[in-house]
Amino acid sequence: MSPRETDDVSGVETTGHEWDGIRELDNPLPRWWLWTFYACIVVAIVYWVLMPAWPGLHGYTHGTLKMSDRAQVVRDLDALKTQRSAEGAQLRNASLEQIEADPKLQAYALAVGQSIFGDNCATCHGTGGTGGKGYPNLRDDVWLWGGTPEDIQHTITVGVRSDHPDARFSQMPAFGKDQLLPAEQINDLTEYVVALSHRPANAGAVGRAAPIFQANCAICHGPEGKGDPTKGAPNLTDKDWLYGADRADIHGQIWNGRGGVMPSWQKRFDPETIKALAVYIHANAAGQ
């Protein structure tokens, strides 16, 4: 504290505070500032009365308006459900074919489906539904578990390798990791699978692998390697590869037998939402 003194330049008294030789002038506050200050106090008191404000030992003061964002969200969601109930009932009662045949209902289903897809499915399948390595592309005409609206609806409901009792389930054995086949046979099989998709491959290896394929792989993928949607076995003769198309990817898949998990959405969505989602995905996919 330095003594209060009058500043020579401005003619104003100092406050007596000093920081590293800098002293503060004790200028009067503008009076409107004082009124603003009083107004803020009044507003604060009004706020305490109307709104939740003070914490206590057992909760807090709720205010006379009983404002609560949490309760508001519940009310908003209820209002939304009521607002959608008419269309929701229509969705629930209509079959997937009926929905797709009725332009108005279809438009509603597409809108619901798009928003649900963006929030829940896009994380893995991408915002455009084009998937990625390990995540199926939903825009093409290749479907591991069938691409009809009913198949899609069922897949969404039960999931793939999920905890649902009726989940879609398939298991590619890990031929290398679990030592089901010797390494050189897996190398030969790799060449065989490459040849299946009409690409140039080592003829000797392909010849050696043919009986191995028939003995180990054909049971799911079929004798010609065309796959089976009822078992979730991918077609090996097309150009679509969930875990990659080159030799290293194919070899890795035979060796490790990867299989992804898609959750069952039955508990999270009501049936009409799943229907809408199936319609949306089906409408945006090619074929089937």
Task: Tell me the closest approach of the beta carbon of residue 115 to another protein, in angstroms.
Answer: 14
The residue (of 36 and 130) whose beta carbon lies closer to another protein is: 36
Task: Tell me the closest approach of the beta carbon of residue 8 to another protein, in angstroms.
Answer: 5
The residue (of 19 and 32) whose beta carbon lies closer to another protein is: 32
Answer whether 183's CB lies under 8 Å from 288's CB.
no
Pick the binder of another protein from 1, 19, 21, 30 (CB under 8 A).
30
Residue range at the interface with another protein (CB under 8 A); choices 30-38, 48-56, 96-104, 132-140: 30-38
Residue range at the interface with another protein (CB under 8 A); choices 10-18, 152-160, 214-222, 236-244: 10-18
b vs e for 7-20, b when ≥16 Cβ sit within 10 Å of the residue's Cβ?
A: eeeeeeebeeeeee
Q: Taking CA 52 as the corner, what is the angle to CA 46 and CA 55, rounded to the nearest 5 degrees?
A: 115
Structure tokens at 64: 């006379």
Q: Report the distance separating Cα 180 and Cα 217, nearest Å.
A: 12
The residues with which 60 forms a beta bridge, in sequence order, are 55
Answer whether 254's CB lies under 8 Å from 175's CB.
yes
Task: Tell me the closest approach of the beta carbon of residue 34 to another protein, in angstroms.
Answer: 5
CB atoms < 10 A from the CB of 36, how many?
10
Regarding 34 and contact with another protein (CB under 8 A), the answer is: yes
Regarding 20 and contact with another protein (CB under 8 A), the answer is: no
Regarding 10 and contact with another protein (CB under 8 A), the answer is: yes
The residue (of 31 and 104) whose beta carbon lies closer to another protein is: 31
Regarding 218 and contact with another protein (CB under 8 A), the answer is: no
Binding footprint of another protein, residue count (CB under 8 A): 14
b vs e for 209-240, b when ≥16 Cβ sit within 10 Å of the residue's Cβ?
A: beebbeebbeebbbeebebebebbbbbbbbeb
Regarding 21 and contact with another protein (CB under 8 A), the answer is: no
Answer whether 168's CB lies under 8 Å from 264's CB.
no
Residue range at the interface with another protein (CB under 8 A); choices 6-14, 15-23, 94-102, 252-260: 6-14
Regarding 31 and contact with another protein (CB under 8 A), the answer is: yes
Estimate to the nearest angstrom the gap between the alpha carbon of 173 and the chain centroid. Answer: 28
The residues with which 18 forms a beta bridge, in sequence order, are 23
Pick the binder of another protein from 12, 67, 73, 111 (CB under 8 A).
12
Task: Tell me the closest approach of the beta carbon of residue 39 to another protein, in angstroms.
Answer: 13
Estimate to the nearest angstrom the gap between the alpha carbon of 68 and the chain centroid. Answer: 29
Regarding 8 and contact with another protein (CB under 8 A), the answer is: yes
Residues that bind another protein (CB under 8 A): 6-12, 28-34
